[in-house]
Copies of this chain bind each other. A is one copy, B any other.
Amino acid sequence: MSFKFLVSTLALALATPAAADVLVDNVEGLTIGEDGKLKRFTALVIDDEGKVAQILTARDEVPQTDFREDGDGAVMIPGLIDAHAHVMGIGIGALTLDLSDTNSLEEALDKIRRFAAENEARPWILGRGWNQEKWGLGRFPTAAELDSAVADRPVYLQRVDGHAGWANTMAMEAAGITATTESPAGGRVERMPGSQAPSGVFVDAAESLMTRAIPAPRPTERDLAFAKAQEVLHRNGITAVADMGTTIEDWQTFRRAGDKDALTLRIMAYAAGPDEMELIAGARPTPWLYDDKLRMNGIKIYLDGALGSRGAWLKQPYADDPGNTGLPLTGPAKLRNILVRAAQGNFQPAIHAIGTAANADALAAIAELSESFPGDRRWRIEHAQIIDPADLSGFGQNGVIASMQPVHQTSDRSMAEARLGPDRLDGAYAWNSILQLGGRLAFGSDAPVESPDPFAGLAAATTRMDANGEPFGGWRPEERVNREQALAGFTSAAAYAGFAEGRFGRLLPGERADFVLIDRDPLLASPAELRATKVLETWVGGRKVYEAD
């Protein structure tokens, strides 16, 4: 078959007229600029693709656009990026019953009854936050009491500290709990007074007798939870997230949202394991999907556990548990195997490392791999909490990115002092040291473990003080970062950490028009004021996705 060229290609080059562009003016705009420094502006033009066409200062001529939005003098910052969160955990958590504000058993039962009535379609009622001490009950509540509120479906509610759970009779039946069920090592099945009958409360390791019976959420429930997660994050001013530990179920949820044009959050996904990574992405990371809203970037690897439960892997024993150094969850050989498998496909590894030994081994593995896999790899270490000062310089080498959560520092301070003792804290949450050594930071929240509120993160990052202003002057304040660095950590640097620079994270021409309008200037507000920042509007890709009442 012959192929004939009939017309000039010039005819094909006619520009498509813009669908609509929008001027957002009367704002106090700020962004990290091309030079990595703060840049201020007063108006922004969004093009018809939802990208920033132009940012303007008072001196610039205002261009002609199809639409205009008046910013009413609000402060405009780039959409905030959470470099370490668990998107589905946020959504599923937000859909469960919260009893933390109840002051009596009666009040709690009332709230449980109402929640069950409002959520008829849910096969199980799940919740958390009860505290029998606060209720003045003087004992644990019972399954029979819970049955008086909900008897037609299983109910399981975690105590405020997560160390006990309260079940109704149907939940215990579903879990096969009877008078002959024994308490497991490290846990206790509570009994009725003077009887072997289980009372309905399961303490510590006994909780798993119950939790294993709770069905995994169905895809339709996941869709609801994901919509809720987007809502929660946008309300907090967050427009993009690195999702840590994405399963195939999570990924399908994101795709279902994307397929029906309901994906408003940008997600940089890190698979829950090598098999999930390949099942989702195949031989290479996926392309950016849905106009830069979703990409499978790489793989999350748990090198060790957490400090609180003494699962973090330390070089020396825990100060409050001599002889225990914690353990690697992924041994050195396996870590290197997974890293090779990831690197061969250009997948980006995100290595969870909390303790000194874990961070040392992560850095060593990265140094070894960097010889075989040169180039722009952006090896991520997640948390990077407790680093042997002798190892700190490793964060300035091989393009390592320390993905850290400022609020963990303020939450964990006393616990970290107990676990490590006063003399081993020099490399703890060492944000400034890492920057000074030429390393790269990205900031996040670890939500739902902590609140996703990035303004709390910005305040902690710049003060090392908690919400109560404690300790005054900050804990090891030499590790504070300045306000520009903190803002970069939650915007441009978090985008870079996910290979998204140039796509979003800054309000510069060509990047996606993701921004937040807030009621105060985060570069000028006091720490207390910063924590009280009100998000007025959140925009993603030139579309408003949240507006305060």
Interface mask (A136-180 → B, CB under 8 Å = 1, otherwise 0): 000000000000000000000000000000000000000000000
Counting CB contacts under 8 A, is A368 at the interface? Answer: no
Cβ contact within 8 Å between A66 and B6: yes
List of B residues within 8 angstroms of A3 by Cβ: 67, 69
Tell me the A1-26 residues at the B interface (CB within 8 Å): 1-7, 11-12, 14, 16-17, 19-20
User: If A4-B68, A68-B4 touch, does A248 touch B17 (CB 8 Å cutoff)?
Assistant: no
Cβ contact within 8 Å between A11 and B66: yes
Cβ contact within 8 Å between B249 and A72: no
A65 → B minimal CB distance (Å) = 7
Counting CB contacts under 8 A, is A330 at the interface? Answer: no
Cβ contact within 8 Å between B219 and A283: yes
Binds B, one of A103-111, A255-263, A421-429, A450-458: A255-263
User: If A218-B278, A248-B248, A282-B220 touch, does A67 touch B4 (CB 8 Å cutoff)?
Assistant: yes
- Which chain B residue shows the least CB distance to A251? B252
Interface mask (A260-271 → B, CB under 8 Å = 1, otherwise 0): 100000000000
Counting CB contacts under 8 A, is A223 at the interface? Answer: yes
User: If A1-B72, A248-B248, A255-B255 touch, does A282 touch B16 (CB 8 Å cutoff)?
Assistant: no
List 23 contacting pairs A-B, 8 Å CB cutoff, sorted by A: A1-B536, A1-B537, A1-B547, A2-B72, A3-B67, A3-B69, A4-B68, A4-B70, A6-B65, A6-B67, A7-B67, A14-B17, A218-B278, A219-B279, A219-B282, A220-B282, A223-B282, A223-B283, A252-B280, A253-B282, A256-B282, A259-B289, A260-B287
Cβ contact within 8 Å between A278 and B16: no
Most buried by B among A17, A72, A259, A536: A259
Tell me the A505-549 residues at the B interface (CB within 8 Å): 517, 536-537, 547
List of B residues within 8 angstroms of A252 by Cβ: 248, 279-280, 282
Cβ contact within 8 Å between A66 and B12: yes
Counting CB contacts under 8 A, is A286 at the interface? Answer: yes
A295 → B minimal CB distance (Å) = 10
A542 → B minimal CB distance (Å) = 14
Counting CB contacts under 8 A, is A281 at the interface? Answer: yes
Counting CB contacts under 8 A, is A71 at the interface? Answer: yes
Interface mask (A282-300 → B, CB under 8 Å = 1, otherwise 0): 1100110100000000000
List of B residues within 8 angstroms of A281 by Cβ: 219, 256
Q: How far is the CA of A259 from the CA of B14 in the complex (A)?
A: 28
Cβ contact within 8 Å between B279 and A67: no
Interface mask (A212-231 → B, CB under 8 Å = 1, otherwise 0): 00000011101100000000
Q: How far is the CA of A17 from the CA of B126 in the complex (A)?
A: 56
Which 9 pairs across A and B sit closest by C-beta, in order of nearness?
Answer: A219-B278, A220-B283, A219-B282, A14-B17, A256-B282, A2-B70, A4-B68, A7-B66, A16-B16
| A interface residue numbers (CB < 8 A to B) | 1-7, 11-12, 14, 16-17, 19-20, 65-72, 74, 218-220, 222-223, 248-249, 252-253, 255-256, 259-260, 278-283, 286-287, 289, 517, 536-537, 547
Cβ contact within 8 Å between B278 and A259: no
A292 → B minimal CB distance (Å) = 13
Q: How far is the CA of A282 from the CA of B20 in the complex (A)?
A: 34
- Which chain B residue shows the least CB distance to A295? B259
List of B residues within 8 angstroms of A71 by Cβ: 1
A549 → B minimal CB distance (Å) = 13
Q: How far is the CA of A404 from the CA of B549 in the complex (A)?
A: 58
List of B residues within 8 angstroms of A70 by Cβ: 1-2, 4
Q: How far is the CA of A83 from the CA of B517 in the complex (A)?
A: 53
List of B residues within 8 angstroms of A256 by Cβ: 281-282, 286
List of B residues within 8 angstroms of A222 by Cβ: 282
Cβ contact within 8 Å between B68 and A249: no
A420 → B minimal CB distance (Å) = 42
Q: How far is the CA of A268 from the CA of B1 in the complex (A)?
A: 31
List of B residues within 8 angstroms of A67 by Cβ: 3-7
Cβ contact within 8 Å between B7 and A12: no
List of B residues within 8 angstroms of A6 by Cβ: 65-68
Q: How far is the CA of A282 from the CA of B67 in the complex (A)?
A: 37
A120 → B minimal CB distance (Å) = 16
Q: How far is the CA of A287 from the CA of B255 in the complex (A)?
A: 11
A228 → B minimal CB distance (Å) = 15
List of B residues within 8 angstroms of A260 by Cβ: 287
List of B residues within 8 angstroms of A68 by Cβ: 4, 6
Q: How far is the CA of A248 from the CA of B252 in the complex (A)?
A: 10
User: If A12-B19, A20-B12, A66-B11 touch, does A279 touch B249 (CB 8 Å cutoff)?
Assistant: yes
A27 → B minimal CB distance (Å) = 10
Q: How far is the CA of A60 from the CA of B264 in the complex (A)?
A: 48
List of B residues within 8 angstroms of A282 by Cβ: 219-220, 222-223, 252-253, 256
List of B residues within 8 angstroms of A74 by Cβ: 1
